[in-house]
Amino acid sequence: MPGPGPHMLYAMGSGMALTTLSDGRFSPHHTLFYTINAFFGPDIGSFSDWLSSVLGFSASSVPDVIHHPVFYILILGLPLCLFYSWLSSFLLHKGLLDSVFGENGHSSTYTWILSTGWWENRAPINPDAVMVVGFLCTCLIGGFVYINRVKSGKSISKQSYQSVKLMVVVATLYSMWCASQIYWASPRRPAVGEEADLGVLVFLVFYFFLPHYLCIKSMQPKDSETKHLPL
């Protein structure tokens, strides 16, 4: 396993990439704590051994406790979470960090996402909504199994491409269903119970799937470029 140097460099590099892709929404503030936390990962190895010797514990007691899946949460996870929260608030109030992420849910984007949910008392259970959503989810799972198991003789890239097309089709139909219930039905009806699925899907497209798609495409040379590569 790598030591704290590669861990922190990897985390900082990933954080800077996220900062660039999010146009600053994943701010240097987030990258800083993301990087610091990489040092305190569950595999801190020789550092915990050194800490054991300084504190007078047996050679393996501290590492064994820190590496435990439950004790790690109690010893480092929860305390660091509370400390980071306090430190972030302190630094923000002192003006040492900029807060440009989230806007506490009051941005127009987040307001619209929430508006696609149902807030008028408890959402009624509409049988047609259950049928439509259940059918689309079944098509998603069934289609994925068909592409990757029944027709598994195809190449991995071909299967992945067809799976992505399946996701796009299902997501489009799902969004159309939600939009029809929210904006076209009169009076408005809950599309999927109380959930804001339309807003969440649009958010995922622009802030999750599209950035990752662009990253993947940037790693693949164009066909025109590969044809002219020297032998």
pLDDT tens across 36-52, in order? 877 766 556 566 666 67
pLDDT at 71: 73
- Most distant CA pair in the chain, distance: 72
Domain's final residue, options 85, 101, 117: 101
Q: Is the pLDDT of residue 103 over 90?
A: no
Determine the Cα–Cα distance for residues 150 and 143; give it in Å rounded to an integer.
Answer: 10
pTM of the prediction? 0.55
pLDDT at 43: 55
- Mean pLDDT for 219-230 is 53
Q: Is the pLDDT of residue 224 over 60?
A: no
Burial of 123 (0-12, 13-18, 19+ CB in 10 A): middle
Same structural domain, 137 and 38: no
Contact in structure between 51 and 60 (CB atoms under 8 Å): no
Under the banding of pLDDT at 50, 70 and 90, the label for residue 176 is very high
Residue 227 lies in a domain: no
First to last CA, the chain: 38
Residue type at position 227: K
Highest mean pLDDT: which of 3-17, 89-103, 182-196?
A: 182-196
Same structural domain, 26 and 58: yes
- Mean pLDDT for 133-138 is 91
- Mean pLDDT for 177-199 is 90
Same structural domain, 25 and 76: yes
- Mean pLDDT for 114-131 is 86
Contact in structure between 197 and 116 (CB atoms under 8 Å): yes
Domain's final residue, options 80, 101, 122: 101
Q: Is the pLDDT of residue 151 over 90?
A: no
Residue 38 lies in a domain: yes
- The parent domain of residue 10 ranges over 4-101
Domain's final residue, options 74, 101, 128: 101
Residue 76 lies in a domain: yes
Determine the Cα–Cα distance for residues 227 and 179; give it in Å rounded to an integer.
Answer: 45
Q: Is the pLDDT of residue 99 over 60?
A: no
pLDDT at 231: 47
The pLDDT > 90 percentage for the chain reads 10
Same structural domain, 116 and 192: yes
Determine the Cα–Cα distance for residues 27 and 18; give it in Å rounded to an integer.
Answer: 8
The number of folded domains in the chain is: 2
